[in-house]
Structure 1
Amino acid sequence: MATVCRRRWDDPDASALRSAMTTELRQRYADRPTDPIHLPPARALAPTSVAWTGVAYTADATPVGHAALRWHGPDLELKRMYVLPAYRGCGVAEILLDAVWEAAGQLGAARIVLQTGDRQPDAIRRYERAGYEPIPVFPPYDVLPYSRCFALAVRPSLTTPPKVTVPA
């Protein structure tokens, strides 16, 4: 089991997990050298736009997962959702998504949106099981040819997140 703790964007554990994510994505998309895995610097995530950052920790305080939210118009956008490979399939992603949903409700968002890539089918399945529905690719991700975008309604008045189904 893991516990999600709110952290600053520049927290060392959060930064290390984002770096691990970038390394993994570069490997997944290595045969597409002309397709960027991240937005150009001028369109990239500004740390000042981040409204919430969470890091998942094991009982022995090992950082194993990361997620962040930033404002994207009236929506909150899920950014840099990542779980270390050794901890996938252990419920960390569900715990992170529950924490994201709760934070979005506390921040007053009506919807969470996200972008992921076509070579991240595990992430796509996880989001769909959590209730996220496909939506058209939204800016600024229209410059990333492999983008897949999703959204989930947030009901701030509810006190529990939507049920995440876990395969047997």
Structure 2
Amino acid sequence: MEKLVIERVTAGNPGLAALIRELDRYLEGLYPPEEIFVVDFDDPKTREMVFVLAYGDGEPVGCAGLRQLDGMSVELKRFYVDPRMRRHGVARQLYQYLEQQALELGCSIIRLETGAPQVEAIAFYKRLGFHEIPAFGEYIGCASSLCMEKRIG
């Protein structure tokens, strides 16, 4: 990969949709349908989210979104890197871009939800400085949910 480019995109971006479909297929192999928390792209509030794509050599290789939870915190959503591009720094650069976006929104906390089967993701988030917290929002009561948080800024 020559150069990684990260940029904000709209919810309707075809590259974003393709990567989110890949992520959904991956998650379907790990969790029952009722424990997969998708982003509803038909919900008008989705347009308020920040979505980003990472491009490697012009091709979408990673995606993520930020959903505002309140005035101080955002939730990291749909964080995914194409398996062929993992271990190349894509996820770290994508996260750093998102953290800057969160700061620009005036937020000091980033939260996320993942699950115990996603061992590599948990290790990655811990390396970034995230720590486990009690379940929040729609994840309360979901047995497979593991929620994490990081203070920024």
Matched, 1:144 2:142: yes
**Superposition RMSD on alpha carbons, in Å?**
1.9
- Name the TM-score, length of structure 2 as normaliser: 0.88
CA displacement at 1:39 relative to structure 2? 3.7
Letter in 2 for 1:65: G
Letter in 1 for 2:35: I
Identity of aligned residues (%): 32
Q: Which runs of 5+ in 1 are unaligned?
A: 156-168
CA–CA distance in structure 1, aligned partners of residues 100 and 8 of structure 2: 12
**Deviations 1:105-134 (Å, cap 9, x if unpaired)?**
111111110001111111101100001111
Letter in 2 for 1:112: I
Distance 1:40 1:127, change over 3 A: closer
Distance 1:93 1:15, change over 3 A: same
**Deviations 1:76-101 (Å, cap 9, x if unpaired)?**
10000000111111111101110110
CA displacement at 1:47 relative to structure 2? 5.5
Letter in 2 for 1:98: Q
Q: Describe the SS at the equivalent of 2:98.
A: helix
Aligned to 1:96: 94
CA–CA distance in structure 2, aligned partners of residues 139 and 56 of structure 1: 28
CA displacement at 1:141 relative to structure 2? 0.6
- Name the TM-score, length of structure 1 as normaliser: 0.81
Aligned residues: 148
CA displacement at 1:40 relative to structure 2? 8.4
Alignment of 1:41-56 (within 5 A): 46=43, 48-49=45-46, 50-56=48-54
| Moved >6 Å (runs of 4+) | none
Letter in 2 for 1:66: C
